[in-house]
């Protein structure tokens, strides 16, 4: 395993030294908001990312998720919504040490559609928050994450 990592890092170094020379300036387009990715409880994460906002529960957000995650390391999600003018999508996994998994800006040229794969530490709610016209909407779905069996 260590050999694989060394190999990967060598590959990455080889790529990035090439890429860095060419286009490093483009890549710092937006700074990573580290405060959003702190280890904290979900409610603290919400307070920090959506201060003083109401996250209205909406039935116009559709989450495609398995009922049970075969492996918590890779949970596929597809998000669609009929809410107009969505400009940001946030994905949370309630009981992850860092509840915010990712956030995506969405340009009007994109449909409100997103596919991603993320990690879930344990059975909990997956919460998707959409920002549209300065309002916030949420939908949540419970996903079971089981441990053990003979998969080893």
Partner 1 sequence: MRLTRLSLSFFIALTVNQSLVFASPLVDQQQIYAFYQTVFPQLPFKDYADGVYAIDADAKTSWLAINEFPPYEFELEEGKALFQKAFNNGKHYADCFSNEGIAIAQLYPQWNIKTQSITTLATAINDCRIVNHAEPLKFAEDEITKITAYMAYTSRGQKINTVIPSDPAALTAYELGKTYFYQRRGQLNFSCASCHVQNAGKFIRSEILSPALGHTTHWPAYRLKTGKLGSLHRRFIVCNTLIRAPIDKAQSPALRQLEFFLSNMSNGLTLNGPSVRK
Partner 2 sequence: MSTIKIRSKQFPDYTLVRVLVAHPMETGRNKNEDTDELIPAHFIQTLTFKHNGKVLSQCQMGYGISKNPFFSYKIKTAKAGDMVSISWQDNLNYSDTLEHII
Instruction: Please state the length of the chain.
Output: 152
Q: Which of residues 7-46 bind partner 2 (CB under 8 A)?
A: 8, 11-13, 15-16, 19-20, 22-24, 26-30, 32-33, 36-37
- Interface residue with partner 1 among 117, 121, 122, 127 (CB under 8 A) is 117
Interface region with partner 1, contact rule CB under 8 A, candidates 26-34, 46-54, 55-63, 141-149: 141-149
For partner 2, the binding residue among 68, 113, 142, 144 (CB under 8 A) is 113
Going 66 to 81 to 102 to 140, the CA torsion angle's sign is: negative
Stretch that binds partner 2, among 53-61, 107-115, 132-140, 141-149 (CB under 8 A): 107-115
Q: Which stretch binds partner 1 (CB under 8 A): 12-20, 24-32, 40-48, 59-67?
A: 59-67
Which part of the chain contacts partner 1 (CB under 8 A), choosing from 33-41, 42-50, 103-111, 140-148? Answer: 140-148
CB 46 within 8 A of CB 124: no
Strand (E) or helix (H) holding 21: helix 2-27
Q: Measured from the CB atom, is 12 or 144 closer to partner 2?
A: 12
In whole angstroms, the minimum distance from the beta carbon of 43 to partner 1 comes to: 28
Q: If 0-12 CB within 10 Å is exposed, 13-18 middle and 19+ buried, where does residue 143 land?
A: buried
User: Minimal CA–CA distance to 114: which of 96, 101, 125, 124?
Assistant: 101
Which residue from 14, 141, 1, 137 is spatially nearest to 69, judged by alpha carbons? 141
Q: How far apart are CA 103 and CA 136, in angstroms?
A: 13
Which one, of 34, 151, 3, lies nearest residue 103 by Cα?
34
Under the rule (CB under 8 A), what is the footprint of partner 1?
4, 64, 66-71, 73-76, 78, 115, 117, 146-152
């Amino acid at each position: 395993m260590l050999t694989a990592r060394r190999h990967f890092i060598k590959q990455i170094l080889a790529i990035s030294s090439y890429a860095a020379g060419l286009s490093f300036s483009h890549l710092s387009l937006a700074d990573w908001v580290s405060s959003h990715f702190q280890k904290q409880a979900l409610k603290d994460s919400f307070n920090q990312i959506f201060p003083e906002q109401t996250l209205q529960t909406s039935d116009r957000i559709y989450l495609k998720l398995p009922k049970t995650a075969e492996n918590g390391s890779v949970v596929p999600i597809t998000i669609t919504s009929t809410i107009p003018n969505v400009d940001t999508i946030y994905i949370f996994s309630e009981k992850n040490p860092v509840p915010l998994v990712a956030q995506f800006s969405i340009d009007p040229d994109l449909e409100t559609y997103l596919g991603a794969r993320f990690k879930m530490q344990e059975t909990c709610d997956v919460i998707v928050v959409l920002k549209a016209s300065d309002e916030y909407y949420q939908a949540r779905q419970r996903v079971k994450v089981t441990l053990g069996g003979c998969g080893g």
